[in-house]
Amino acid sequence: MTQKKLYTVLAAIFCWSCCIWGQVSDASASSENNTPEVWYVHFRINESSLDENYNNNKVALSQLTQRISEIISTQEYEISKISITGYASPDGPIKINQPLSEKRAEALRQYVLQHTNVPASLIEAYGAGENWKELRIMIEKSNLTQKEKILHIIDQSSMGEEPDKALKELPDNTYRVILEQYYPRLRNASTVQLLRKIKRPQTTAIVEKEKDVQQTDTIIQRQKPQPTSIPNSHIPFMGIKTNLAYWAMLITPNIELEWYFARQFSFSVEGVYRWYNDDLAKGSNFRVAYVSPELRYYLRDDKTWKGHYVGLYGQYGEYDIKFGDTGYQGRGRGLGLSYGYIFQFNQSKHWFFDLGISAGYNRLDFDSYYWFDPCNALKEHHSKNYWGPTKLKASILYRF
């Protein structure tokens, strides 16, 4: 009985092993058959025009167009899509590199359209901006003396800060080596992928399947990029903040709401209210209430709403301020320009700090008065045009 059980267990293990081996073999074969075909084309620094004589472009372009023509003529398989992704090396500001990568991808798209019979609807072109992930793979496989510091800078730099600035401060001419040996390899319109339509084994329906690019020594594998945002970044729709400068000035409660739209714009409304009754009029009063709407433009074009900004604001408020026996009561209205900078706390997706200053024109209409128990006596009426600083901002910001 024991021997019979042993044979039964061995038979089960053998059958199970055969099933697993068959599944692995099928998956491996499927992966090999469905891996997209990929080519890489390079560009000169700060250029988006396609130069066939640069680097190995003539060979790559020839292989690309010949392969597409071969597939169409022999009907080897049906092309589902040709995906072109453009990149730029990190030596430059993001606001320049993002459109540069888009132009490079479009240049290669036009070349394919002109030299093949592929319908324009099958070719997609994307600009992925700066390719920091690919640079990291290159550095990780290098023998640079500052290798660990370079990787740390790339990994630890907070969103909104460009690691290129920190790389320039490394010793031993490290940045020069990166600039001459690594950045040129990032100026490409890669990848050009030919994606095919395949049949699922279980059904006869035609489905579209896209595989990730297999990793090479110098090219990072990535899915289809989203050119309008930074990878892994949090795209906010609203923020709430409070100005610490107002709290420090006689504990003045305040709140501001900000809404984000159109990649680089936001609209905010700030409110301040400190109007407490003072039963002992002989004491000092500091009463103020005002509202201030503002339209902002952020200089960074990456839907993060961080870094430098400029704004146009309006302002209306009323006040009653008295120190000692003389007080001033009235209202003010005006408009002006603002400037500031927003940065985040320790790579947080939600917490930020807003530093700014505003200046412009205010029309002030107010009365000066003396205090006489139990009422105030008018001293004089004033009207004044004021030009100069109007607001100082040091706000804690939380974004949703």
Structural contact between residues 356 and 340, judged by C-beta atoms closer than 8 angstroms: yes
Q: What are phi and psi of 209, to 5 degrees?
A: -130, 130
What is the rounded CA–CA span in Å between residue 165 and residue 177?
Answer: 15
What is the separation of C-alpha 102 from the centre of its chain, rounded to a whole number of angstroms?
16
Distance CA 219, CA 138 (A): 8
Question: How buried is 91 (Cβ within 10 angstroms: 0-12 exposed, 13-18 middle, 19+ buried)?
Answer: buried
Question: Could you tell me which residues come within 8 angstroms of residue 74 by beta carbon, excluding any fewer than 6 positions away?
Answer: none
**CA–CA dist 170, 153 (Å, integer):** 10
What are the counts of helices (DSSP H) followed by strands (DSSP E) for the chain?
8, 13
How many CB atoms neighbour CB 293 within 10 A?
A: 14
- Nearest partner of 160 among 244, 85, 232, judged by Cα: 232
CA distance 97 to 245: 37
Q: Would you place residue 117 in the very low, low, confident or very high pLDDT band (cuts 50, 70, 90)?
A: confident
More confident residue, 11 or 234: 234
Whole-number Å distance between alpha carbons of 96 and 108:
19
Digit-coded pLDDT (tens) for 359-374: 999 999 988 887 666 6
Would the pTM count as exceeding 0.85? no
Considering just the CA atoms, what is the radius of gyration of the chain in Å? 32
Neighbours of 198 (CB within 10 A): 16
Which DSSP letter does residue 77 get? Answer: S
Instruction: Compute the average pLDDT of residues 262-290.
Output: 79
Please give the mean pLDDT across all residues of the chain. Answer: 76
Tell me: the pLDDT tens digits for 75-107? 777 777 888 888 877 767 777 878 888 888 888
For residue 135, the model assigns a pLDDT of: 79
